[in-house]
Each structure stands twice: as structure tokens, then as C-alpha cells.
Structure 1
Amino acid sequence: MESKAIHIINKFLNPIPQYVLGCLPAIAIMGASPKEKFAKKLAWVLRCLGCPFTGLLYSCNVGKDEVKLCIYWLSSKYFSSTGQRNQQLQQLKHRPVGVYAMSVDKERNEFSNIVKYINRCTARASVLDRMSSLVSTYYILVGIIAAISRTTGINNCEDWPFIPLLLSWTIPAILKRVISGTLVVKDPNCEFELQDIQIIMKPGSESYRKHKLFSVTLVAFVSIVYPWLTVFLAIYTPPIGYYCRSQYLTIICSIWSINSALAYINHLIKEHDVEGNEFLHAWFSIWGFIVAILLLFLALLTNNIEWWSILHEEHCRTTCEI
């Protein structure tokens, strides 16, 4: 028993695979949050890890304009709108983002003041920060190529990394960081609360609303369906069949698909603040923690092929025929 314990400890002392370290920035970029407290920042990272729709909505639908980037984090109490049929200002009961996106009415706002306050909340990413973001892209792309190459029938008795392929849905957030470079570094709610500002929004055109509905729905579809590509490739990677690796990946993909569907429905119902329903926010964060543990254990299984035997299936230990 003592010798087995020492053997397990020695396994944990093995260097962490480079592709795991290379993918960590992708999670951090996807879950970047301007919240002031560390606990809230961590909760948002876990939420994005447990619910891909949350991170992809911000990366793919907000754009790179500083005003829109900050508006995403503001609660509905800071917004008013003239509505469609009259010019009387009404307090918005939901955030003007995503499907319900609106534009800032520059004629009825002191737009220069709004920009001034927003500039206090934003910063430009450094060249080093942008270039380091590409490291994750490199490991993810190599992981995708490795996954496809293993399905061609090339026998290799070493496990290939599933984690880069699993996290390939984070690429839009990484590319946005590299190309745009604008970061929201301070919670806009704190800045606008101090100034007691109301932002007057104007509804978009019918074509604009249809475009937003389509784009957000497309993000939801990708969030729900895309992760299953990993399971599909794992089935056709030696040992070919729906065995331990595919079954393990199914657990992670099921979590992502269910949570992304719930987040999309919650978004359609309308959200008062960025966290939305507090119970769903806690739910997503808890599942994000569980996914983090599953990914860590997956990295250990990949680095120690013999550990797959704990799943009690004859095809678990090897990925090829010797």
C-alpha cells in the first residue's frame, strides 16, 4: 500500500504537459472580468468554463467599440429608452445587449461625458499580452491537427491531448484580444454609480434586431453543438469505438451543451444584470469548477495511460494495437 502511494505521488510530480499550460491563458482570456473582487472574478471565470455561451456571447456579439464593451457589464438601471412609439423616456428593465441590443442616442446624451467615464474603465492590451495570447491558439490548433491525424489510422501507443480540442471554442475570445486589444479593466457599474448617469438608448431597426437574433442564436448553436466534435473524433481515434475516452468527453460536452442552452433561454427571457438569474449564475459557476476538475483529471489520464484502467474497461489502457 505504501509503495503504491509513493508511486502515485511520483506520478503527480511529473512535469505538467506543455499543452495544458498552453491552454490555461485561453480560459483566463475567455473568463476575463472587470469585477473588483477576486471572488467575483473567479466566479466569472468558472461560469465561462462551465457555460461556453456566456463567454462566446461577449466575444462574438459585442464588438470592439469601447462603449459597447462597457455597456455589456452595466446593469439595466443605468439605461433609459424612448421606445418605439413615443418619445417619453422609460427605464429599461433589461440590459440592451445581445438579442435586445440598442445604440446609444448620441443626440440626447452628453456623449463626450459618457466616453470620458468609459475611458476610465478601459485600457489597451500590451504587445506582450497580445503575443502571449497566441500561445494558446498555437497549442489548440496543434491539438486539432493531432486529433484529425490520429483518426487516419496512424497507430501510436501514446495518448493524444484532448484538452486543446475541447477548448478550441475559446479561439474567438483569443483572436478578439489579439486583434482588438481593448480591455475593460474597471467595473463600469462603479464608475457610473459615482457619477449617477443615465444612458439614453435608441432601438435599432428591424433588420438590426433580426441580425442580432440570428447572431446570438448562432452563438448558442455553436456553444451547444460544437464541443461534440471532440467526442466524434475520439470515437474514431484508436481504440476505435465509443469507449472510455469518448464516454469521459461526453460528460464534459453534456455539461457544456445543457448549460449553454439554459443560458440562451435565460438571455431570451431578459436579464437585469450581467450575472442574470442568481441561481443560474451559481449553477454555472459550480459546474465550471467541476469541469476544471474533470479537465485536470483528463490531463493526468493522458499523461499516465495506465490510469485509464480505473474505468474498468478492456479498451481503456491503450489507444492502439501493439
Structure 2
Amino acid sequence: MEDTRHSDYKNTLKLREEPELWRIIGNSKEIKDVLSKIQTVLESDVPVVIQGETGTGKELVTKAIHYRGPRSKQPLCTINCAAIPENLLESELMGHEKGSFTGAIQQQIGKLERANMGTLFLDEITEMPLAMQAKILRVIEEQVFERVGGQKPIKTNIRIISASNKELLGEVSSKNFREDLYYRLNVFRIHIPPLRDRKEDIPELVNVFVNRFATLSGKKINKPGPSTMDKLISYRWPGNIRQLQNSIRRAILVTTNDTLLPEHFDFPDLDANDLRMIESLEDGLSKLEAALRRGDVLPLSEVEEIFIRRALNATNGNISATSEKLEIGRSTVYRKMQEYGIKIEDYQTV
């Protein structure tokens, strides 16, 4: 028993000593529990669901599982289900044959095929359309699929890791997620706590990020002093580690000397509703960016909604300023807000 405990401890240390860009940082009880669960599931092939708020490090946990597991020499393929339009998601996952639809000028290998013998990471799995959920269920059950426009069955051997910032069971109750797929995916669950629930890890995270971004910027930056660290520890970090990382990057950019002071950190006062609104905006922008990168076209209504929300967010819900930014009339802004179900109070600060 003592040997087993010693072995588990050594393995946990290894997880903390991974390459700088994706090692898991922290010594809190909460993060040690995450490391322990990663260790438990490493050598198996069971599907894993990672649940946590935006910015908590779900992709980091996925990489820790993949690169320390038996499939580490094989591909890790990621697909963000929220960033790809519904009509293109099947092609991204399954691939397609030449001529299978307008614009399919050549055969494309999908993520399921690329990830063969490796790991497929389905990020924001709850945003996957129900029709696509049924097809993924078949892949899990039969380990076979066909490319869009193809008839030849293609066998696949993959490990599936899913992630969401929502509770999957709640999405099942709301009829947004298939119950049978839920039980197939949710064999082993890892919950990543928000940063506000593991504040004792903040000093170590801060020092790692300061070193990383100071090096990248070519600046010599000292460790933050007590007053700066107190401010960082006391803040709630609704955007979690991603927000902390970006805040430190900005502070290093604006400082004119080798010291990070409290005034270099200007935090917005966000509540849960604010954060959900920002997440929705980020998802929209990610979807637009992914479409543009592929040379695809999104429906005009989707693009309009994304930019109206972005303008409202930038102007704190000021309709006049929003209409000026978008170069449209105030009445058009009001009409479009009603059309897309946008509430002005979601963007106004008290």
C-alpha cells in the first residue's frame, strides 16, 4: 500500500513537471484532486468529460491526459463545437468526398479520421446539434463512419474527451443533449474548480505567467510585491486562469519599469450574467473567425447579431454610440435587437 501511495505521488509530481506551456500549476487541495483524477484515467481508454467554467483550463487537462497516456505518440485533434456552423460541423468531423456539396472541390479528411489511434477532443460538446449528436453516438457504439457524400465505411479507433462550461445533465433535462450520448460520454468526469475556489494557487500562477510573458516581451520584470499580490488574490477572477494570464500580459505591456504595481491591473466588475454575455460574444466571434479562416460564408443574420452585440458591449449599451459605430440608424439598432432577442439591460452598467 505504501509503495502504491509513493508511486501515485511521483506520478502527480510528473504531471506538475510537464513542459512549461501546458503543465498544470498549483498546490491547492482542489487542483491536487484534479491531478489525482487525471492519474486515475491515464492508462484507460474510457471517455472523459471535463466540466468547468470558461478559462479554467479544460484543454490543458485534455493535453495532460493525452500526452501522458498510451496514445501520446498519436494525434490529438480538437474541434470546438461552438465555433463551427451547424451545416459545416459534420464535414469537419467526418470529412467529405469531392463533389459532395457545393464548394467541395476536393476530398477532405475529417477530424475522426485524423485522430485515428489518438484522441478526439470535443470542446463545448453541449453546443453540438442534436442531429450531429446522433452520428457521434453511432461512432462511439460501432467505431465506424462515412465521409459526407461517401458510402465506404471507415473504421476508427479513438479516445473521446469532451468538455463543457455547462452541466451536461442539466442540458439533458432541457432536451438540448441526448441522454444516451450523455451516458456514453460521461463515463469518467473531471470537474475543474474556478480560480476563486483555489486562491492559494494564485501566487504560483502569477509568478509563472510573469516569467513567461516577461521573457516573451524582452523585459526584466520582478516578482509582484505584497500589495500587488494582495489585489490579485482578492479579485474573484470570473474569467479564471485565462483572465489572470491576459491581465498579467497587459500589465507587463503597460509598465514602464521592472515592477508590476496594483494600478497596472484594472479589473471590470463582472457578475455571472456579465460573464455569460461575454462568453456568448466570444463564441460568436470564434465562429465568425473560424468561418473566415476556412473561406466559408455565415448567414447574414448571424454576422449582424455578432456585431450588434459587440458594439453594444463596447458602448455599455448606449444606443446612440452603437448606431454611430455600426453606421446605422437608432431605429435600425432597436429593430435588430428585437429581432435577435437582445436585451439592452444586459449591456448597461449601473
Alignment TM class, shorter chain as reference: under 0.3
Could you state the TM-score of these two structures normalised by the residue count of structure 1?
0.25
Larger RCO, structure (CA 8 Å, separation 6 or more): 1
Of Structure 1 and Structure 2, which has the larger fraction of its residues in helix? 1
